[in-house]
Amino acid sequence: MILTLPDYIYVFMEDLQLAGRSKLTLKQYESDIKKFFVWMDKHKENTEFDTFKALRAEDIRSYFLHLHHLQLSQATIRRLASVLSRLMKFHQCIAAEEIHKLAAASPLRALNDKDFITDKEFTQLMKRMKTKDSEQQKKSARNYLLNRNIAIVLLIRTYGLTPTEIHSLTMKHINFAQKELMVQTNEQRRTFQLQESMMNYLRDYFFSIPPLFRPKYNSKDPLFVAFNNISLSFQYDYDRQRPKDLSVRAIQEMIKDEVRLANLRKISAVTLRNTSILDFLQLGYLDDVLMERFALTSEASLRRYKQYLENISENN
């Protein structure tokens, strides 16, 4: 069992850190890479750099066959492929391009109606999210966070952001005066012009934070600050001397809770983002525009939405 990764992996991790990757991203990368080196240690009997550099296409195919035998989801396999591809490209390995082809070619499950939220469901969700808890639940943390929660859900449903992208937003990424939001994904930068209603939720949330814990303008402070449900207070990271980041998991759990309170079926951040992508596809935007707007990594991802629309058209 691999407990510690080889030194040449940490050179790659240090490069990611210097590029500004979050601690959460680095932790995920390390976990994903470790899965590959557990396999490599077993099948190649060592994890030395020369062995790693010499890996060929047949080795990579063997690894992906191993992942399929573990019955991992296609989404997980694609993520592992993407991480491994970056690592091998960083070290200029021969098999790097083969991984990219395998990642792009991995079959994706066909989308169906359950992968999208209907207008009726979204209206019901928004109505419940705007409703405070009862007097008996007055000390509920949720009552302090209505505007924050609505802003997050709208960023996913209307603008197509992911929980990871929302977690990574800092005060440098938001311009309250110009109503602009900038999202940095790897080497790609996307700018969104926010609607006034969206800005109102963000401003109300921002000024609900006590000045001592409030993120500073044009700083690396997180736009969305973690909240302690017991003390009913926004949290501060004293080691880093700034407000504490709201985690990806907290965003996902918030959506799950709000969906449950609205008495809706299982709806996640992925469901909301899927619907945003579908909306823009129906508006007739070109493929390259859509891939840039939603930071899609392959045309195969976009093809699923097109196929879904074709299936709807054929059944009507």
User: What is the average per-residue pLDDT within 215-222?
Assistant: 96
d(CA 217, CA 172): 7
User: What is the average per-residue pLDDT within 12-28?
Assistant: 86
- Of 147, 129, 163, 145, the C-alpha closest to 250 is 163
User: What is the average per-residue pLDDT within 299-312?
Assistant: 85
pLDDT digits (tens, 9 = 90+) for 28-78: 889 899 989 988 888 888 888 888 888 887 788 888 878 877 777 777 888
> What are the Cα distances from residue 220, in Å, to 76, 169, 173, 208, 278?
30, 9, 9, 19, 33
d(CA 221, CA 191): 19
| pLDDT level of residue 133 (50, 70, 90 thresholds) | confident
Are 48 and 13 in contact by the 8 Å Cβ rule? The answer is no
The answer, yes or no, to whether residue 171 has pLDDT greater than 70, is: yes
| pLDDT level of residue 106 (50, 70, 90 thresholds) | low
* Topology annotation, domain 7-105: DNA polymerase; domain 1 (1.10.150)
- Of 192, 297, 209, the C-alpha closest to 246 is 209
What pLDDT sits at residue 151? 98
| pLDDT level of residue 2 (50, 70, 90 thresholds) | very low
d(CA 62, CA 47): 16
Please give the single-letter amino acid code of residue 194.
L
pLDDT digits (tens, 9 = 90+) for 192-212: 999 999 999 999 999 999 998
d(CA 212, CA 140): 22
What pLDDT sits at residue 100? 63
What pLDDT sits at residue 72? 75
| Mean pLDDT of the residues in the chain | 88
- Of 146, 160, 152, 271, the C-alpha closest to 222 is 152
SS3 label, residue 90 = helix
DSSP symbols for 119-168? HHHHHHHHHHHTSPPPGGGTT-GGGG-HHHHHHHHHHHHTT---HHHHHH
| pLDDT level of residue 21 (50, 70, 90 thresholds) | confident
SS3 label, residue 20 = coil
The answer, yes or no, to whether residue 17 has pLDDT greater than 90, is: no
User: What is the average per-residue pLDDT within 276-305?
Assistant: 87
| pLDDT level of residue 150 (50, 70, 90 thresholds) | very high
Residues in the chain: 316
Domain ranges of the chain: 7-105, 114-274
User: What is the average per-residue pLDDT within 101-117?
Assistant: 75
Please give the single-letter amino acid code of residue 269.
A
Give the CATH superfamily of 114-274: Intergrase catalytic core (1.10.443.10)
The answer, yes or no, to whether residue 130 has pLDDT greater than 90, is: yes
